[in-house]
Amino acid sequence: MKKRRILLASTLAVCIAALYFLQALLMPKYMDKTKEGALIGEYYDNAGNNDVVFIGDCEVYENFSPITLWEKYGITSYIRGSAQQLIWQSYYLMEETFRYETPKVMVFNVLSMKYDTPKSTGAQSQREAYNRMTLDGMRWSSSKWNAIMASMTEEEKKWEAQYSYLFPILRYHDRWSQLTKDDFTYWLHRDKVSDNGYLMQTGVKSVTGEYVERPLVDYSFGENSWYYLDKMVQLCKEKGTQLVLIKAPALSPIWWEQWDEQIAQYAEENELLYINMLDYQQEIGIDWSKDTYDAGLHLNVYGAEKASDWFGKILSQECGVADRRTDTQISALWAKKTQVYNDRKAALQTQQN
């Protein structure tokens, strides 16, 4: 009887191990193309000792450089950004971050306030792909589960996709016919694609014209967006962390004046610092013919360094974030990070030329 139990347990263990390795093989690696998908998972090796944590969409992971904040102000920071990260995902990422550390300042980019529900974000197929890039990288916790439940599209709800976020093999099992060399190279490990969450771009594509978008029927942010922003405010208050709202300097999508007014009013009512960096483009020194890699949607590394230098001054002087450069242990760690950053920058510049 005992022998039978051991045999059954062994069989089960082998099955689970096989499924684990198979799942690791079949999941997208995001190492060569669509590197944005690897960002969320990179945080855990860098969790702790970050005085500032940025949360939000591409406007944080493309427009701010933690290395510049370190070099110029001795600020330790991390960017928990992901492609088209929605506000409910930002909230749960913030909640999860507090499990690992309690930064002095949380910076949230407010562009995602424009999306009130998963349906309002566009085509379901693309929405799901964005969801996967944010959620698959999160470690297991109630925050992840709640983020999944808040993020699923109507289509995903129909086939109860929450279980496929729990066991991604259920979603990716038919990738077996699309496996590439990368899937085997990165089967059980990943290279770092970011510098503390910053995804570097060295290309230059100048802004050619003014961005124009369709006027909206209603400029009011939705109830769901306000609900999650309220939760962020509450959470940061409970943790004693200062929440700073920013609108990063990017020309498209348009940040409507009516949106700006709503956030400014909300910030005033809740005694929050809100900075619309679009109002300070000249002061920051952004040159839209040189400092963007995609004609004004995001900054390249040269623009991101300028934006970080400008914003670092506010973090340092207005928010009182400490200069850690006198701490030898932290300095040694950041010296290594800076070296990796500089090497990456040089390599990308060489590729560019």
Partner 1 sequence: MKKRIFITVLACLMLLFAGCQGNPATGGDNSNNQSQVSSYNFTYKETKITLHAPAEPIIKALGDPISYTESASCAFDGLDKSYYYGSFYLETYPKDGKDYVYGWYFKDDSVATEKGISIGATKEAVTKAYGNEGFNGSNAWVLKDGGGTLTIILDKDAVSSIQYAIVVE
6 binds partner 1 (CB under 8 A): no
Element holding 19 (H helix, E strand): helix 2-26
Q: Does 188 bind partner 1 (CB under 8 A)?
A: no
Q: How far is the CB of 225 from partner 1 (least distance, A)?
A: 18
Greatest C-alpha distance within the chain: 79
The burial class, CB within 10 Å (0-12 / 13-18 / 19+), for 180 is: exposed
Backbone angles phi, psi at 59, to 5 degrees: -70, -15
Segment interacting with partner 1 (CB under 8 A) among 6-14, 101-109, 274-282, 309-317: 6-14
94 to 123, contacts with partner 1 by CB under 8 A? 122-123
Give the tokens for residue 205: 């594509």
Identify which of residues 19 and 340 has a Cβ nearer to partner 1 in the complex. Answer: 19
* Six token digits for residue 12: 């089960």
Question: Do 81 and 54 meet the contact criterion of CB atoms below 8 Å apart?
Answer: yes
Which of 1-9, 140-148, 187-195, 234-242 is the region at the interface with partner 1 (rule: CB under 8 A)?
A: 1-9
Query: Among residues 150 and 319, whose Cβ is nearest to partner 1?
Result: 150
- Out of 60, 94, 133, 304, name the contact with partner 1 by CB under 8 A: 133
Report if residue 179 touches partner 1, rule: CB under 8 A: no
Q: Which of residues 14-33 bind partner 1 (CB under 8 A)?
A: 15-16, 18-19, 22, 28
- Contact status: 185 vs partner 1 (CB under 8 A): no
Task: Tell which one of 40, 83, 152, 232 touches partner 1 (CB under 8 A).
Answer: 83
Question: With binding defined as CB under 8 A, does residue 336 bind partner 1?
Answer: no
CB of 11 to partner 1, least distance (A): 5
Q: Provide the token pair at 75.
A: 């600020």
User: What phi and psi, each to the nearest 5 degrees, are found at residue 181?
Assistant: -60, -40
Q: Which of residues 156-175 bind partner 1 (CB under 8 A)?
A: 159-161, 163-164, 167, 169-175
Residues 269-298 that bind partner 1 (CB under 8 A): 294-295, 297
Residue 181: is it exposed, middle or buried by C-beta count within 10 angstroms (0-12/13-18/19+)? exposed
**Does the protein bind partner 1 through residue 190 (CB under 8 A)?**
no
> Is residue 338 involved in binding partner 1 (CB under 8 A)?
no
Q: How far apart are CA 169 and CA 173, in angstroms?
A: 5
DSSP-assigned beta bridge partners for residue 107 = 54, 244
What residues have CB less than 8 Å from 32, skipping those under 6 apart? 182
- At its nearest, how many Å lie between partner 1 and the CB of residue 83? 4
In the complex, minimum distance from the CB of residue 299 to partner 1, in angstroms, rounded to a whole number: 14
| Helix spans in 37-140 (H) | 39-42, 58-61, 66-73, 87-100, 124-135
DSSP structural state of residue 246: E
Cis peptide before 253 (omega within 30 of 0): yes
Using CB under 8 A, list all residues that contact partner 1: 4, 7-8, 11-12, 15-16, 18-19, 22, 28, 34, 36-37, 57-58, 83-84, 122-133, 159-161, 163-164, 167, 169-175, 178, 208-212, 214-215, 217-218, 252-253, 294-295, 297
